[in-house]
Amino acid sequence: MLVNKSLKVRIYPNKWQEEMFKKNFGSCRFIHNQILDRLNYLHQNYKGQYKLNYKLTNTFLKQLKEENNFLNEIESTSLQQTTRDLVKSFINFFKNPKNRKPKFHTKKNTKDSFRQSIRKDKPPVMGKYLHLRKYGKIRYRTSKKYTNTLNSTNIKINNVTISQENGKYYASINIECEQEEMKYTGKNIAFDINSNKNSWLVSNYGQKEKFNIDHENQMIKYLNQQLSLKKPNSRAYKKIQKRLWKYYNKRTNKLNDYTQKLSTKIVKKYDNAVFEKNPQNIKILIGGEQNMVFPLMKFIDMLKYKFKWYKKESEGVVYVNPKNTSKTCHKCGHIHQELKVKTRKWKCPECKTVLDRDVNAGATRKSLFPHLISEIIYFNPSCDGISPLETPN
């Protein structure tokens, strides 16, 4: 089975390459805004009288290059990719109005990035160097595993995206390769999601996941306050800004690493994962005063595509109706209607089983999915807890 993957590596451009990258970022943003303005004009005044396709946007791109000479200095395929992305977003919007309409890109709120296509006769990766069209050879750094993968003849490189994040440059290399399958375990798991930073994810096995980035958030808040007191572009300003970027990167990397490892462990140990319906409505605050929201839907999307990659015959992520699952005893099925939200541990009036509210909710939701075998443990008040993602005997 062929799958598309993206490998993100750190790159180290020289000063001339950094300057050209910045020009390319700005040119892609300029092309996006100019063509979007023309498409909006056509849609408002000539609705139904034109065809939205790549030929139309390529005509606009050619006109813009003739009107603005600085665009001829920029690598051409990155500008073409910008127009293609814009056409795709418009088509998706017309197909489903729930999708967001394309917006103008601003320098402040838009991520600096551009994407190059790849020529068949010139591979972009050779050893520990990345060869970009028009910008030459750039050193990159990543793990030995990824380095060997990028230099392997068994993969196909589709495109390379260059981006800047907090003063550092990265290359996201899109590859096409054969996907290995994981062994089926015959085990399944169900989760209860909590909208707070303490045990945001609880399984029917009693596993409680916590994630803490309070230190990074406190440092970011403190450095932002210090930065506001300094004169812009002064030496003290740049020094604090460099420290601030460091903590932004640390927080992002810590969060991405956590979600990737947790999703991989779940897919490796279980064949299906049960969640409640409409999880996008739940906001998990993990930053204290910063009120940073945990990327829950990004995490669930990771589970979906990893189940599809590694265990394509399983159903993967399954949704069930969460109504009364916290109040229903998973042992006898009795619904405790008088149970209050603040009560985290309760005793079933019928079977006298002591239950943890979140663990019981996960176990009840698992029983709602008919294809799953009942794998339930009961809450033990004397138990100190179970280490993450380890199934009890």
| Residue indicated by tokens 């029917």 | 204
Confidence category of residue 352, pLDDT binned at 50, 70, 90 = confident
Q: Say if residue 3's pLDDT is above 60.
A: yes
| % pLDDT > 90, the chain | 41
Structure tokens at 330: 């998973």
What the block records as the tokens of 109 is: 């709120």
Residue type, 56: L
Q: What is the pLDDT of residue 288?
A: 57
Q: How many residues does the chain have?
A: 393
276 pLDDT band (50/70/90 cuts)?
A: confident
Task: Look at residues 350, 349, 358 and name the one whose alpha carbon lies nearest to residue 379.
Answer: 358
What confidence category does residue 7 fall into, taking pLDDT thresholds of 50, 70 and 90?
Answer: very high
Beta carbons of 162 and 114 less than 8 angstroms apart: yes
pLDDT tens for 84-94 read 999 999 888 88
Task: Band the pLDDT of 196: cuts 50, 70, 90.
Answer: low
Question: pLDDT tens digits, residue range 123-182?
Answer: 889 999 999 989 999 999 999 989 999 999 888 999 999 999 888 999 999 999 887 888
Listing DSSP states for 161-205 in one string gives EEEEETTEEEEEEEEEEEPPPPPP-S-EEEEEE-SSSSS-EEETT
Give me the pLDDT at residue 197, please.
Answer: 57
| Position 290 pLDDT exceeds 60 | no
Q: What would the pLDDT profile of 64-80 be if each residue is shown by its tens digit?
A: 999 999 999 999 999 99
**Both tokens assigned to 1:** 């089975």
Decide if 194 contacts 284 (C-beta within 8 A).
yes
Of the ranges 76-80, 165-169, 279-283, 306-310, which is most confident?
76-80
Residue 390 has pLDDT above 50, yes or no: no
CA 182 to chain centre: 22
Tens digits of per-residue pLDDT, 292-305?
778 889 999 999 99
Cβ atoms 292, 217 nearer than 8 A:
yes
What are the pLDDT digits (tens) for 322-340? 777 777 787 777 777 777 7
Sheet holding 316-320, edge to edge: 208-209, 201-203, 188-193, 272-276, 316-320
Each domain of the chain, given as residue ranges in start order, spans 2-178, 188-208+266-368
Give the Cβ contact number of residue 230 at 10 Å.
Answer: 15
Q: How many CA atoms lie within 13 A of 300 on its CB side?
A: 20
